[in-house]
Structure 1
């Protein structure tokens, strides 16, 4: 349906306001983002092993970015835009009602995920993409160590 940006028309009910916007949004990664990769590299260098993009609970249709199953620790590295960072989220100028509602649904789902995991005995750690990967990895490693020591 794309011939060039001047004649492109969004399909009926589409979220895309232009062909360029559609390509941009489709290119956004949901996993293996740069912040995630940096944190994972640091954790791996410390000898920690984990699952990537895994469901902490089999009946929960949500995945955590990093999962330590034996320790019951789920780690999420949230993007500032998609998860409504209080410091960096800027409401969009185009199609703002749709995107603002989408981000609000994401935030609501994040809180629900946290509650469900905690109710099942999991520890949940959430970091923003702008946080220092070194600090995140240190916090995660300390949590894994603390949880493992408490269970032994």
Structure 2
């Protein structure tokens, strides 16, 4: 998205906060989850957390959300990285310490995408740690953006 903004001649973001994902240059070595059979796919989504138990226990809601979730996974898992000139934008990478999907070295690769030094901020919690740290994240965003 940032590349499109800059290519369109629009003002570049002042700061990028990135969460829940490996750097785009990191190849996905795992088999695609979006192709899993329904039961396996739903179990994968459950392991990540972030979806209310009430939704996961209601078959009609699962039927509604499953294609949306699969489309999200497909977009991420089929993305093809094309290196571009690194941005001149500060980046803060946010990561849940218990996020089993993303290794620390996969976060370090974000440095390839900017000429500015990246900052990696790690928080207690899994993939959806943000819900448990809203106040801290608000402070972090505020500090970075008022400079």
- Which TM-score applies when normalising by structure 2? 0.34
RCO comparison, higher one (Cα < 8 Å, 6+): 2
* Higher alpha-carbon Rg: 1
- Which TM-score applies when normalising by structure 1? 0.33
